[in-house]
Amino acid sequence: MDEYLLHVGGQWRAGHAAPDVAVSPATGETFASVAVAGPADVDDAVRTAARAGPDWAARSPFERAAWCERVAAAILGRRDDLARVLTLDQGKPLQAEAYGEVDELAEYFRMAAADARRLDGAYPPSSSAGRRVITARVPLGVVGVISPWNWPYTMGAELFAPALAAGNAVVWVPAPSTSACCAVLAGIIAAEGTPPGVFSFVPGPGPVAGDALAGHPGVAAVGFIGSVATGGLVAARAAGKTQLLELGGNGPMVILEDADLDLAAGAALEAAYLCAGQSCTAGERFLVHAAVRAEFTERVVAATAGRVRLGDPFDPQTTMGPLNNEATAAKFDRHVADAVSRGAKLCHGGRRAAGFATPLYAEPTVLDGVTPDMLIATEETFGPVVPIVEVTSAAQALELTNSSPFGLTAAVFTGDLERGLAFAEQARAGWVNVNASTNLWESHLPFGGRSGSVSGRGRVGGRFAMEAFTEPKTILYPGPRLSG
């Protein structure tokens, strides 16, 4: 059994709390022990980060960029190891998803390197002819990163890669249920000439390690990706600090009467079953026009039955693996049961699958006749389900989209581009796809919740995350005088 430790101040060490054990949702085996950080460990990490940060910030952006590129190369050099432990720890299919996450992880570091080289300032005019002004973006200091378990590598890296490249020191608290695979990544980062204290890895429970990090007076900024409920707690503890919060979604996927139904049905599989539905960008509601609802439902059921293979995530033929934890699986059960008890029709799946090593394998599910007030249509299910809600017009679909407290992603399918763009402009979401799944996104583009929604604040994605972890500094000085 592998043993993973904390990484603080350039040293690997045990935590102040008793170590945890990592149990695979895929196989049920206990495959690792992981040190658990207590508040004292987090305090040590923040203090060492504060001491190491100024030297890191003073280095050339090109030097930090070169370090990012070395980390990216090391990630790809350990691609097989990273993918294997990700599948073991998180449960996502090795071939269908885990390798892709590792590749995207490397891309986050390459992107951070490129953005660090382009992080420029300005030379604005002064109100006085005798003065000159420079503005430059400078790092904030110590950045605390608290990341989720659904994409253990990339959701952390989309925060800490740009933060480090911009000159900040980082303390990372990953989700406990996938801290083993995160420990492997932390080891790669630590081995690439990272100055002691610049990057610390302190896994532990959110109410303990995460809380200590978010509320620490030595932390200048907090980046958090996770649930709405936990995001609210993090925001309260981090009051007064810079905050970048990417929270949950209940993304509607709208299928209008002129949509290409084959395209929409295929996109529904990606929207509902990627990462077994455990995605903040998942299609959580399918608002389908009455004129095509029956046909769309039929095609989605056929596509689910023919193309989605629930199975051992180490099997190359598997397209969907288990849910990561029992709490998520229980919510899936509860939402499906609530919908069926209130009149929804179970067209496919709807149960835990038998015959697997753990009870976390949930069947890909299609529900028809869902109403807007059911739990599955109002909450974030985070499971493999296509809940179909009938609408009679684009206006009704827009109203249902905008009445939700969530505002992360949405998608609309229509044969009329002008109509699709009109819907996208009026939808209350931070990201809207036209004729593409809610789960389609590009990592260099700004991504986050719409203002006023419960889906977060700020934007991740390329330079937008880097800008979040820097601030403009103004230098005013006397103008040059020509002598002689």
Q: Is the Cβ–Cβ distance between 357 and 307 less than 8 Å?
A: no
Identical fold, 2-247+456-473 and 252-434? no
Burial pattern 114-125, b for ≥16 Cβ within 10 A else e, equals: ebbeebeeeeee
CATH 3.40.309.10 fits 252-434, yes or no: yes
Q: Is 250 helix (H, G, I), strand (E, B) or coil?
A: coil
Whether 182 is catalytic: no
Residue among 280, 347, 390, 467 flagged as catalytic: 280
Give the tens place of pLDDT for each residue, 103-160: 999 999 999 999 999 999 999 999 999 999 999 999 999 999 999 999 999 999 999 9
φ/ψ of residue 120, rounded to 5? -110, 175
Helix residue ranges per DSSP H, 379-438? 394-403, 417-426
Q: Is the Cβ–Cβ distance between 339 and 375 less than 8 Å?
A: yes
Give the tens place of pLDDT for each residue, 200-212: 999 999 999 999 9
- What is the average pLDDT across 69-93? 98
Q: How far apart are CA 77 and CA 116, in angstroms?
A: 23
pLDDT score recorded for residue 27: 97
- What is the average pLDDT across 149-172? 98
pLDDT score recorded for residue 17: 87
Residue among 107, 246, 363, 467 flagged as catalytic: 246
Domain boundaries along the sequence of the chain: 2-247+456-473, 252-434
**Superfamily (CATH) of domain 2-247+456-473:** Aldehyde Dehydrogenase; Chain A, domain 1 (3.40.605.10)
- What is the average pLDDT across 156-183? 98
Give the tens place of pLDDT for each residue, 218-262: 999 999 999 999 999 999 999 999 999 999 999 999 999 999 999
Give the tens place of pLDDT for each residue, 325-358: 999 999 999 999 999 999 999 999 999 999 999 9
Q: Please list, in sequence order, all residues whose beta carbon lies within 8 angstroms of the beta carbon of residue 146, skipping any fewer than 6 positions away.
A: 173, 174, 206, 210, 213, 214, 222, 223, 224, 225, 226, 234
Average pLDDT, the chain: 97
Whether 380 is catalytic: no
pLDDT score recorded for residue 482: 75
pLDDT at 1 over 90: no
Give the tens place of pLDDT for each residue, 393-426: 999 999 999 999 999 999 999 999 999 999 999 9
End-to-end C-alpha distance for the chain, whole angstroms: 76
Q: Which sign does the torsion angle of CA 240, 139, 459, 100 carry?
A: negative
pLDDT score recorded for residue 373: 97
Q: How far apart are CA 202 and CA 175, in angstroms?
A: 10
pLDDT at 69 over 90: yes
Place of tokens 């998520």: 328
This prediction's pTM: 0.96
Q: Is 311 helix (H, G, I), strand (E, B) or coil?
A: coil
